[in-house]
Structures are given as structure tokens and as C-alpha cells.
Chains A and B, each alone.
Chain A
Amino acid sequence: MSTILRAEGVTRVLPGPQPVTLVRDIDFALSPGEFVAVTGPSGSGKSSLLYLLGLLDRPTEGRISIEGRDTAAMSENELAATRLARLGFVFQFHFLLPEFTTLDNLLIPMRRLGRWDEAEREDRARALLASLGMDEAAGKLPEQLSGGMRQRAAIARALANDPALLLADEPTGNLDTRNARTVFDIFERLVADEHRSVIVVTHDQEQAARAPRQVRLVDGRIVHDSARD
């Protein structure tokens, strides 16, 4: 399959007395192994686009398909199952559950997916943490980790179910330059070594420049896509 994700003529309008158009006329196709940075001014619709591409929101007009399946025909449960198995999410805030260890946090999506038995799940979680340079984090609570480690733990959780696509919304917004670099190092490796796709929404120009494909959004429209121009 040559396209993971495809958006055709996608527009999203928030209804209300004064409807707000979040994004409009989005055409976008993503292949396996692509690394895309989405940039644009505040309020340009970057996050709204990521929610749509992450199947967390539905378009008002147009079509989004994932691995050839039209999402309009999918129920909420099917969308949730698809997200769980095929997509991973990282946000500015880590969203690790504070009362549970890093290991438990990583096990959550794997248990829900049910593809591996408990011993395999735990091995997987530990291997993932090790691959991100944080073997010792498994038994620790999020509070006991540094900010950079928390975000790497969040990335490990996003990768737990072996997703085809990682979607990240301002993943370096709370990090210093060194930790921001580490996050993008990881993204590069996921693409180069594991042939996953990454879409990252970011304000961080220095890190964004590292992505081979650049998409720029202004007022909800794609004004530049380096794959097309």
C-alpha cells in the first residue's frame, strides 16, 4: 500500500451562531516512511488538522481515508480500534498517568489491543524504554522523571502498539533545546530505521527544518507543501 493516509478536499467548520472554519480544502497524502513538519502561525489550524488526520475529529466536508478505508463509513468504535492499532500520539504535555509507573503507562495501550500476552507486553515495554535510553524508568512514576524523560516515555507509549504513523502536536513545547533535539532524533530514527511515518506540528523552526517534507498552513489552508511545489 503506497498511501497510509489521504485527505481530499477536507474542510472542518465548528457550527454555532457564528461558524468557525478551522481548516479548508485540505488535500494531503502520506506515504510510509515520510516525515512531515507542519508549521504555521498560531490559530492557523495546525492542531485542528492533526486531530482530523489522527481520526479524533471528522471533516464537515471532504474525505479522509486510512490505509485505503474511508473513515466516513467507520463507526466511532472502528475509529478507536484503528487509532489504537495504527496510530500513536504525542502532545506537548506528556499525559502519563501520575499514579502509575512508566511501565504500567506503556502497558495500557498494549493490554487494550490484546495482541501479545502479558509477558510479551512487558518485554516489549522494557525494550522500547531501553531503545530510547531509559531502561531505569520502568519502575518509576512520571513525577520521578525529568521533563525530557517524561516526553520520551510518552513517545515510547505512542510506539507501544507498533503504529504505522506517529502524530505529534508541539512535542517539544515544554522542552529545552537539547531535549527537543533528542525528540527529533527519535523521530528521524523511526522513519529511517523502522519505516514509520511521522507528522509533527511544531513552532520550533530549528527542529522543523529537519523534516524532509514541509507543510505550511495559513488561515486553515495549506499554502505550501514541499511534496507538491
Chain B
Amino acid sequence: MRAETPFVALDRVSLTYGGEGGGTLAVEGLDLAISRGEFAAVVGPSGCGKSTLMKLVTGLAPASAGSVAVGGQRVAGPLKIVGMAFQNPTLLPWRTTLDNVLLPLEIVEPHRAAFRRERARHVERARALLATVGLAGFEGKYPWQLSGGMQQRASLCRALIHEPELLMLDEPFAALDAFTREELWGVLQDLWLVRRFTCILVTHDLREAVYLADTVHVMSARPGRIIATRAIDLPRPRTLEGSFEPHFVDLVHGLRDRIAAARAEA
């Protein structure tokens, strides 16, 4: 038993959309605990409430029952310590890649004041971050001049430039082709190994979950709750070659069986 308080804690959370009476129960009795610095993945059948979970943790949707806490504080409204990346592109088309990555620094205190005082230092930091994801030389390009994979690399940089304590990723690579997606697993893992932010990845790609996460949580069909939690005991850094080895494949199959059972129950 560890006495440490989880960084993200959901305790018997329910959320009903659409108000009293005729509402839809999206999640019910949802329990989840994620440690500081942990990489967690949440998988489950379509419509199981994975996105609802994201909204609950970031304070976008208030729980109808139960409690949500992040960093020891009860979540009562939108969190300020979060970086986010989604499947959708959110790079501003009228800004260069570098200027897109700098955006959060123009908004979030205390970075905003520091950014005004020491712009050059922060620009260097953004350039260095872009270089670590393989985008050196693309700082001056506009999003429409980048491939989808490059745009998502830049989005990850933007989500991390203000060093958020929590990174929320909602199907971030779902719109990419398989090769690009697998390449970006490596990019994301490298960023995490250096920075060790707490991360919640929502995905329907089980290989992606096993490749990236310390812990994979399986959600049931609606109303969603966590029905299984698997620790992924694979050494890091994980590699694509490693994803074809028996233990990796067994982990993926185990998760698949669990989700198949959840779908059958629905």
C-alpha cells in the first residue's frame, strides 16, 4: 500500500448529460487514480465515455455525483495546469510553426510576464523543443506547409511549452496514417522520458496504449466505468520492434479480450 495521494483521483464519479429525468448516464461509479509523473492510457469501446472522462478531469464538465481531484485540489472549474492535444488541428493557420508553439507563453502566467521580458530566451526554448521532435528548420513554415504528422509534432510542442503538470491527449494521432502514427509514439515517449509530466492518453488503439503507457485502464460500455487496470511492465524506452515481441502482443490481446467482453455485455 502506498500512502502517496494520487495526482489525479476520481472517486465514484457519475455524470448525466441532459439533466433530470430524460438524461443520458455517460459514466457511473467511475474510480481512477493516476500518480504524479505517470503515463496512463484509457481504452474502451466507442461511446464508452472516454471523452467524458477527459472533460471531468479538466473541469470542462462537472460531476453529477462523486469527486474529481487533481493535484490534491477538488476540480470545480476549468484547470489551468493542463496542456491538451486533440485529433483536430489547432495550429493557427496565420501563424508560423514557431509562433504557434509560443502561444501558451503569451497567455499563461507566470510565463506571460517572463515571456515579455525575455522573449529571446523563450524563442530559443521553443526552437530547441521543435528540434527534439524533428522540426528544426521548419520554425518559419505555416501549418498548411507541414504534413499532418509534422502538425501533430508541433501541437505536442505547443501543449508542452508552458510545462503543464498534466498533459491530456484525446486520440491525438487518430487522423494520421499508421506509419506516421507509430513514428509519433516514439516522439511522445521521448518527450515524456525527459519531462515526466503526468499524462492521460485516451485512445482506441491498443498497441498505442501498450507502447506508451505505464498503466492501461479499460472502460466499460456506457455508462462507462473502469473495469480493468493493467500495469504495463515493459522496459523503456520501448521500440517498434519490441511491439512485435510475445509479451507486448500478449498484453494487447489481453486488453482486446477485456474490451470484447465489455462490448458483449452492452
Show the binding face of A for B, using Cβ within 8 Å: 51, 54, 56-57, 76, 80, 83, 87, 89, 91, 93, 95-101, 104, 107-108, 111-112, 141, 143-144
Contact = CB atoms under 8 A, between A and B. Distances in A.
B84 A91 contact: no
B106 A97 contact: no
A206 to B, nearest CB: 26
Contact of A51 (B60, B95, B112, B144): B144
13 contacts: A56-B94, A76-B96, A80-B96, A93-B88, A93-B89, A95-B90, A95-B92, A97-B90, A97-B103, A97-B104, A98-B86, A111-B106, A111-B112
A99 to B, nearest CB: 5
A101 B92 contact: no
A112 B107 CA distance: 10
B83 interface: yes
A101 B94 contact: no
Contacts of A100: 104, 107
Contacts of B60: 141, 143-144
A101 B79 CA distance: 11
B107 A108 contact: yes
A108 B104 CA distance: 9
Q: Which 9 A-B pairs have the closest CB atoms?
A: A99-B84, A89-B94, A143-B60, A98-B84, A104-B107, A141-B78, A95-B92, A100-B107, A99-B82
Contacts of A101: 78
B140 interface: yes
Contacts of B92: 95
A87 B95 CA distance: 13
Contacts of A51: 144
Contacts, number: 54
B106 A89 contact: no
A22 B52 CA distance: 42
B103 A108 contact: yes
Contact of B106 (A76, A108, A141, A143): A108
B241 to A, nearest CB: 34
Interface in B75-132: 78, 82-84, 86, 88-96, 99, 103-104, 106-107, 112
Interface string B204-232: 00000000000000000000000000000
Contacts of B192: none
Contacts of A141: 60, 78
Contacts of A89: 93-94
A56 B88 contact: no
A150 to B, nearest CB: 12
B196 interface: no
A52 B91 CA distance: 19
Given A56-B142, A97-B103, A91 B93 contact: yes
Q: Most chain-A CB neighbours within 10 Å: which of B55, B89, B92, B104? A: B92
A144 B96 CA distance: 28
A71 to B, nearest CB: 15
Nearest to B93: A91
Nearest to B54: A143
Contacts of B83: 99
Given A56-B94, A56-B144, A99-B159, 9 more contacts: A80-B96, A93-B89, A95-B90, A96-B90, A97-B90, A98-B84, A108-B106, A112-B106, A141-B60
Contacts of A107: 107
Q: Most chain-B CB neighbours within 10 Å: which of A98, A104, A107? A: A98
Nearest to A158: B94
Contacts of B88: 93
A143 B103 contact: no
A96 B91 CA distance: 9
A100 B59 CA distance: 12
B107 to A, nearest CB: 5
